[in-house]
Amino acid sequence: MEPLDKEKQFERLYATPPVYEWELIVNPIPFRTQMTYFFLLFSILLSVIFFLTDSGAFSVVPILGAAFLCPWFRYLVNADKRHYYAINQYGMYSTEEQIIPEIAYTIVRRSAWVGCAICVFAAIFIGPMAFVGAGGAALMSFTMTNFRSIPHKSQCLFDTSAILKNYRANDYLLRTEHSLISLIIPESKLTPIIEVIKQYNDTFEEEFVDLYKDAKFHARPVILEIVR
């Protein structure tokens, strides 16, 4: 039988029912709320300084900016993530998606349409020069009109040998000869996952890599819930 090309192998991987699967809710940055409060307090302090130095209307700019950026940073950029992993005889695949209410996407899309309308009116009444210096904002408005959740997919094909590298608690990387995939594995599920990987590979190794030994600062994802 003629060997399948990589695209066909991926299709077969996703079409085959999983032998083992798990799903997690993960907090990507544990200190995100503290960062949001810090930015908000800093913005208030900056506004007070502008007010005391008679900067006029500029004194409200930091607070208005914080009122928009703080929720955006906390609930959109650093929202909780849902991770799903599945293993079958051909390999492993995963999906990663931010947990953001659909209303947030609706608000962003409608705001983008308002931005588009403003750009059109500006071009009509001011001319093409209206886009000078604001071209980036106009382009972003048109781009965000289709803003929606898009799951990120990853996959790793089995090819007789596999190495499972452990970087820190729950943080792993599975490497085969031609592909690799990042994994978040709870301690309670590590043993059955290893047994399944061994079942479909001729050789299997575990390796601990102290990747963050000299790092003074790094954000460690935290598992909030093991869904299954």
Query: pLDDT digits over 75-132, tens only?
Result: 777 788 999 999 999 999 999 998 877 666 666 666 666 665 666 665 565 555 545 4
β-pairing, 20-27 vs 171-176, is unpaired
Handedness of CA 64, 66, 71, 72 (dihedral sign): positive
Residue-wise pLDDT for 188-217, tens only, equals: 999 999 999 999 999 999 999 887 777 666
Instruction: Report domain extents, the chain.
Output: 1-27+82-99+152-209+216-228, 29-78, 101-148
Does 141 have pLDDT greater than 60? no
8 A C-beta contact, residue 204 and residue 198: yes
Does 157 have pLDDT greater than 70? yes
1-27+82-99+152-209+216-228 is classed in which CATH architecture? Roll (2.30)
What is each CA distance from 211 to 109, 174, 180, 223, in whole angstroms?
A: 40, 15, 17, 20
User: Model's pTM, two decimal places?
Assistant: 0.74
Say what the pLDDT of residue 121 is.
60
- Comparing 53 with 173, the larger pLDDT belongs to 173
DSSP conformational letter for 93: E
8 A C-beta contact, residue 170 and residue 186: yes
- Comparing 166 with 49, the larger pLDDT belongs to 166
Average pLDDT, the chain: 80
Say what the pLDDT of residue 146 is.
63
Kindly tell me the number of DSSP H helices and DSSP E strands found in the chain: 6, 9
H helices within the chain, ranges in order?
Answer: 6-15, 32-52, 61-71, 102-125, 135-143, 187-199
- Split at pLDDT 50, 70, 90, the class of 29 is confident
